[in-house]
Amino acid sequence: MPELSDKHRHPHIDELDVDFLYHLGLDSSMDLPGMFGDVKFVCMGGSAKRAESFAKKLATDLDLGVHPEFLEPIGKTERGSMFKVGPILSLSHGMGMPSMSIFLHEVTKMLEHAGAEDYRFMRIGTSGGVFRSGEEEGTIGIGVEPGTVIVAEQAIDERLRPIHQKVKLGRPHIYETWFDEEMARELYDVRGDMRVQIGKTLGANDFYEGQGRLDGALNPGYTEADKLDYLNRAYDVGVRNIEMEAPELASFCLRAGIPAALVCATLLNRLEGDQVASSDEERAKWSLDAQPLVVRYLRKKLAEGVPEDGMNM
Ligand code: R2B
Ligand code: URA
């Protein structure tokens, strides 16, 4: 780090005359070093609204000389929104791995063109929890209710394998899905009185059948008992929550040599139901619950930093 690991760095990027970062609305002829050369943390979430609210929270809670009222999105906003607060980027990646993959590629290229160093990625998301009451003692952290925040140690795919399969030129390629152990531990360590657990996160390719739901539009062809069997098998391999991006994030960052963390609030316990039936107020509180944990982590890391030539990390 920070150089993309040689094995996975694209050999042709430096040969491009201008590299168009199409979905961000930026390109390498712009002053990317001036705009992004100091970035150390990239915080991502699915929704553009949350990218903005998180940026405002950072500007309000951290002493970075940025007024929340003056925050404007950088680049184009059709597909996602990106804000910069001091050395922190807050951006949205949309829903699911195909969408997230586009943003991972373009933000990484943007930071490489900018000459940014020692940066790390974090996804702050929402998820469905997989909690068995009374069985959380002895795991790292305790939490059985929705609202518990899960910090991922590893991503699991929908076939319950600890891998990510990518199809390239019609052939499958298998990648590892570990998250950065030190980042996960540091995030866990700043939890204070928040309900936080370290666990594995299942990243599915769908919200309904891909997550074993019975409340989609189609007859799924499986029963409640089949669903519970699947969720219990997921629990037994260490899965504590389910969302839609974990394997892509983990494998991309491992290949690129970028430390990464995944921090998700849980909106419901999937062993008890499928519908996200909580009130708007509850959901707002819970999805924001993952944000304060990351703010605490960022405050600590910034305090450890060396202002003049970047962070001492
Ligand atoms: C969590 O929430 C979204 C689906 O509602 C998806 O992006 C995810 O991973
Ligand atoms: N996001 C998901 O992908 N699944 C859930 O159950 C809740 C949020």
Identify the band that residue 147 occupies on the pLDDT scale cut at 50, 70 and 90: confident
Mean pLDDT of the chain: 90
pLDDT digits 0-9 by tens, 69-82: 999 999 999 999 99
Q: From residue 70, give the alpha-carbon distance in Å to each of 34, 41, 63, 255, 295.
A: 19, 20, 15, 36, 20
Joined together, the tokens standing for residue 127 give 């998820």
* pLDDT of res. 9: 66
Identify the band that residue 305 occupies on the pLDDT scale cut at 50, 70 and 90: confident
- Does 193 or 74 have the greater pLDDT score? 74
- Whole-prediction pTM value? 0.93
Work out the number of other CB atoms within 10 angstroms of the CB of residue 68: 15
Nearest to 68 by CA among 58, 79, 76: 58
Percent of the chain's residues with pLDDT above 70: 88
* pLDDT of res. 307: 45
Q: Is the separation of the CB atoms in 236 and 139 below 8 Å?
A: no
Q: From residue 75, give the alpha-carbon distance in Å to each of 31, 34, 49, 89, 233.
A: 13, 14, 16, 13, 43
Cα–Cα distance for residue pair 130/203, rounded to 1 Å:
13
* pLDDT of res. 285: 61
* Substitution candidate for ligand 2 out of 227, 240, 242, 272 with most atoms within 8 A of CB: 242
With 60 as the cut, is the pLDDT of residue 83 above it?
A: yes
Q: From residue 280, give the alpha-carbon distance in Å to each of 56, 169, 276, 286.
A: 20, 43, 10, 10
Residue 95 DSSP code: S
* pLDDT of res. 306: 42
Give, using CA atoms, the residue closest to atom 5 of ligand 1.
207
With 50 as the cut, is the pLDDT of residue 211 above it?
A: yes
Torsion sign (Cα): 4, 9, 12, 18:
negative
Whole-number Å distance, alpha carbon 231 to ligand 1 midpoint, is: 18
Cα–Cα distance for residue pair 251/240, rounded to 1 Å:
19
Backbone angles phi, psi at 291, to 5 degrees: -65, -45
Q: Which atom of ligand 1 is nearest to the CA of 95?
A: 7
Q: Which atom of ligand 1 is nearest to the CA of 127?
A: 1
Residue 2: cis peptide before it, omega within 30 degrees of 0: yes
* pLDDT of res. 16: 85
Identify the band that residue 7 occupies on the pLDDT scale cut at 50, 70 and 90: low
Alpha helices by DSSP H, listed for 119-218, are 181-189
With 70 as the cut, is the pLDDT of residue 234 above it?
A: yes
Residue 57 DSSP code: H
Find where tokens 């150390």 sit.
40
pLDDT digits 0-9 by tens, 240-296: 999 999 999 999 999 999 999 999 999 899 999 999 877 767 666 655 579 999 999
With 50 as the cut, is the pLDDT of residue 48 above it?
A: yes
With 90 as the cut, is the pLDDT of residue 311 above it?
A: no
Work out the number of other CB atoms within 10 angstroms of the CB of residue 138: 6
Nearest to 286 by CA among 192, 193, 147, 143: 147
Q: Which atom of ligand 2 is nearest to the CA of 242?
A: 4
Joined together, the tokens standing for residue 278 give 């909580």
Work out the number of other CB atoms within 10 angstroms of the CB of residue 257: 15
Is the CB of 201 within 6 Å of ligand 2? no
* Substitution candidate for ligand 2 out of 209, 243, 271, 274 with most atoms within 8 A of CB: 243
* Substitution candidate for ligand 2 out of 156, 201, 211 with most atoms within 8 A of CB: 211
Give, using CA atoms, the residue closest to atom 6 of ligand 2.
128
Identify the band that residue 141 occupies on the pLDDT scale cut at 50, 70 and 90: very low
Q: Which atom of ligand 1 is nearest to the CA of 246?
A: 9
Identify the band that residue 96 occupies on the pLDDT scale cut at 50, 70 and 90: very high
The whole-number average pLDDT for the span 168-197 is 97
Q: Is the separation of the CB atoms in 164 and 250 below 8 Å?
A: yes
Q: Is the separation of the CB atoms in 23 and 281 below 8 Å?
A: no
- The answer to which of 62-71, 94-103, 131-140 has the lowest mean pLDDT is 131-140
Ligand in nearest proximity to the CA of 268: 2
Cα–Cα distance for residue pair 39/208, rounded to 1 Å:
36
The binding-site residues of ligand 1, defined as CB within 6 angstroms of any ligand atom, are 46, 95, 125-127, 207, 243-245
Q: Is the separation of the CB atoms in 278 and 286 below 8 Å?
A: yes
Count Cβ atoms within 10 A of the Cβ of residue 7 and give its class: 0-12 exposed, 13-18 middle, 19 or more buried.
exposed
With 50 as the cut, is the pLDDT of residue 309 above it?
A: no
Identify the band that residue 103 occupies on the pLDDT scale cut at 50, 70 and 90: very high
With 90 as the cut, is the pLDDT of residue 111 above it?
A: yes
